[in-house]
Amino acid sequence: MHIHILGVCGTFMGGLAALARESGHTVTGCDANVYPPMSDQLRALGIELLEGYDASQLALQPELFVIGNVVTRGNPLMEAILNAGAPYTSGPQWLADNVLQRRHVLAVAGTHGKTSTTAMLAWVLDQAGLRPGFLVGGVPLNFGVSARLGHVADASPFVIEADEYDTAFFDKRSKFVHYRPRTAILNNLEFDHADIFDDLAAIERQFHHLVRTVPGLGRLVVNAREESLQRVLGLGCWSEVQRFGARKEEPGALRARGEPHAFDVLRGSLKIARVEWPLLGEHNQLNALAAIAAAEHAGVAPDVAAKALASFQNVRRRLELLGEVAGIAIYDDFAHHPTAMRSTVNGLRRKIDASPAARKGQRQRILAVFEPRSNTMKLGAMKAQLPWSLEEADLSFCHSGGLGWDAVQALAPLGKLAVVCDTVDALVQRVVAAAQPGDHILCMSNGGFGGVHAKLLGTLAKART
């Protein structure tokens, strides 16, 4: 079958394209911005990519158009598809119908940590010999690809990042409602996606739609610290619940004892595994507990899962060190929600405070460089939380271009420790002027950030020669 995918360069739709190609279909696709790394990955798979959404693409005559949620009414190609009566479906629906049927689906939902936890869980199942398929909203370093079909003949498990964002312009349900998981991780739940949800209660209702689809023999892996998730379960629950992350001993619940990089996994008071790995931050410790609990439902013993996590390398753009110039390190991270930003800064602070230089009394600063780029942040829904998210940074630099609210005013509680610039180039100059040997420059954005990483590395190199 020939499938043409609209919005193919998004992380989800690009992964779907890879799965369709691996399934033996002829796959083409288009996007408004055909850009790497996804464009390179797709072309390497033999997938023809077209720039834009011109109605002339109807002449390709595919058997099916798969529509990404970036496509709206008024899109020239979509209008042509509708006028021609051509067959079309959404990405999540195609996935449910063609990949997930008769497989043990393990879905990872939550406001934060979906990508990392999905990658962790896929790696654990892989190392346990289960040959899982997966679709991750990023590129796990252990696999080097964002999606693979897995061993379909054996109905191997399939691990999927389960997003609460809507499915398509013609299907406003959350994507994850389509996946029908047997195991579902509910990692956390905060207000986000202010462009489509009015309040937290609206998102909780969508999470409960997911809970309704989990069978009685299924398992819900639920963060014990999240009141919002307890409210979700309070709306009705028909499956086994495995809680994790409890701050004190709780019968049956999984919790951690120790530092995020080296900790015991306890069930109640009983030690059942130990994790020692290179990842940082309490958020990753919680992600690990969730992955261990979900893997157990697929038949992987907790001690086996913990051993697999020791070799887990995380996902690109998760506190990823891009380079170092004159003793100044530059990192890239996908954090864009205030809670995620705070967790990322805290993780880096823990790392550098435990370094040999810190033990010698050398103070190492964190320079947080960020752009409020997500739809929620652009709307200013969480601007009041930004000072809180940056408390552990020594200096903060905000790119304010394209915002409809006053970033200077929002960051005023930080005083002189915050700098706001309306262009990336101006931001780079201010960061370079402030940077000192021993500093750690942490760039946070869910987009390309105008190439700020390469610009910082290049400008620092010139300034220090």
Look up the CATH number of the domain holding residue 370.
3.90.190.20
The secondary element (H helix, E strand) that includes residue 378 is helix 375-378
Residue at 381 is within a domain:
yes
Task: Note the pLDDT of residue 224.
Answer: 94
pLDDT band (50, 70, 90) for residue 336? confident
Q: Which residue has the tokens 């063609």?
A: 98
- CB within 8 Å of 279: residues ≥ 6 apart: 260, 261, 288, 312, 314
Judge if 103 and 251 occupy the same domain.
yes
What's the distance, CA 378 to chain centroid?
A: 19
Judge if 45 and 68 occupy the same domain.
yes
Q: Is 171 helix (H, G, I), strand (E, B) or coil?
A: strand
Judge if 266 and 125 occupy the same domain.
yes
Cis preceding-peptide flag for 37 (omega within 30 of 0): yes
Among residues 257, 275, 309, the one where a domain terminates is 309
Q: Between these two residues, 292 and 144, which has the higher pLDDT value? A: 292
Task: Note the pLDDT of residue 151.
Answer: 83
Judge if 116 and 65 occupy the same domain.
no
Dump pLDDT digits (tens) for 275-331: 999 888 788 999 999 999 999 999 999 999 999 999 998 877 777 888 888 888 898
pLDDT band (50, 70, 90) for residue 229? very high
- CB within 8 Å of 248: residues ≥ 6 apart: 255
Residue at 378 is within a domain:
yes
- What pTM value is reported for the model? 0.80
- CATH classification at residue 62: 3.40.50.720
Judge if 388 and 441 occupy the same domain.
yes
Instruction: Tally the domains of the chain.
Output: 3
Judge if 36 and 165 occupy the same domain.
no
Dump pLDDT digits (tens) for 344-359: 888 888 877 777 776 6
Dump pLDDT digits (tens) for 15-41: 999 999 999 999 999 999 776 667 788
- Look at residues 312, 271, 261, 316 and name the one whose alpha carbon lies nearest to residue 291: 312
Task: Note the pLDDT of residue 201.
Answer: 87
- CATH classification at residue 216: 3.40.1190.10
Among residues 51, 72, 90, the one where a domain terminates is 90
pLDDT band (50, 70, 90) for residue 215? very high
Instruction: Output b/e per residue, 222-253; b: 16+ Cβ within 10 A.
Output: bbbebebbeebbeeeeebeebbbbbeeebeeb
Using an 8 Å Cβ cutoff, are 341 and 396 in contact? no
Task: Note the pLDDT of residue 195.
Answer: 64
Residue at 315 is within a domain:
no
Average pLDDT over all residues of the chain: 89
Task: Note the pLDDT of residue 189.
Answer: 84
Residue 194 pLDDT > 80: no
Judge if 221 and 264 occupy the same domain.
yes
Judge if 189 and 211 occupy the same domain.
yes
Range of weakest confidence among 65-69, 167-171, 376-380, 423-427? 376-380
- The parent domain of residue 297 ranges over 99-309
Judge if 74 and 186 occupy the same domain.
no
Q: Between these two residues, 342 and 229, which has the higher pLDDT value? A: 229
Residue at 314 is within a domain:
no
Residue at 172 is within a domain:
yes
CA distance 416 to 422: 17
